[in-house]
Amino acid sequence: LKRTPLRAWGLLHALAAPGQARLSIAGRLISGADSGGYGLLCRFTDADHYYFFLVNGQGHFLIGKQKDGISTGLSAATFQPSEAILPGNVPNLLTAQCVGNRLTLSVNGAPIAEVQDEAYAEGQDGVLAAAVEGEEMEARFDDFAIYAP
């Protein structure tokens, strides 16, 4: 991402948009600022309405939602540290669950956050990269999978 702040995503284009899913991805920062986030999204209906699960190269995470074009942290107001996240350009295995009103994030097999929110009940699932204003970043994703919870 070279123009910031900017978010880019890829979605699974399925015939039906699942409302409940367990998602996993191996992601890593390739280049740019360690503060840029990468991860998963669920219940995406448009660019202004979805849940996100992000980690960054500093070993921090955030579960949040995009509503009417405004990002809000649900697990905390800002990114929080976790020893489960490998910092820098090292791959991290992210697993997110969107089940009912419960949103959970595990990194490298360790549960790190769970929140509850009822704003969105269904939508598409995918991957997300988010650059911080004034900084560039590149992330790479492998082995994206969606499972029934």
Quickly list H helices, the chain.
Answer: none
Burial of 76 from C-beta contacts in 10 A (0-12 / 13-18 / 19+): middle
| Higher-pLDDT residue of 136, 119 | 119
pTM of this prediction exceeds 0.75: yes
Q: Is the pLDDT of residue 40 over 50?
A: yes
pLDDT digits (tens, 9 = 90+) for 44-74: 999 899 999 999 999 999 999 999 989 999 9
> Looking at residue 12, what is its pLDDT?
53
Predicted confidence at residue 120, as pLDDT, reads 96
pLDDT (average), residues 84-91: 94
Share of the chain above pLDDT 90, in %: 61
